[in-house]
Structure 1
């Protein structure tokens, strides 16, 4: 499939992350296939866990 296919897959993953997050949150690609999500104004670890469950 090659690099172009992998790049398209990463773009789709990034788009799905953005769709699931609030406008105040940030999703960023660190490199390779690694992403980080920054959550603004969360209500604690339980809320962060719920967001993680939604994203996965």
Structure 2
């Protein structure tokens, strides 16, 4: 697992093995995250949803 600088991880979030989250990203509370996410993403996950440029 790799988490970049200036990322916010919401309460109750589960980050699975092999996940990479680049800088300046936010993971919403209660999300289950797996995969690679570019910088400046808002990650809302029940089913991977990426919001770019929020």
When normalised by structure 1's length, the TM-score is 0.30
Q: Does 1 or 2 have the higher relative contact order (CA < 8 Å, sep 6+)? A: 2
- Write 1 or 2 for the structure with the bigger share of strand: 2
Give 1 or 2 for the bigger CA radius of gyration. 1
When normalised by structure 2's length, the TM-score is 0.31
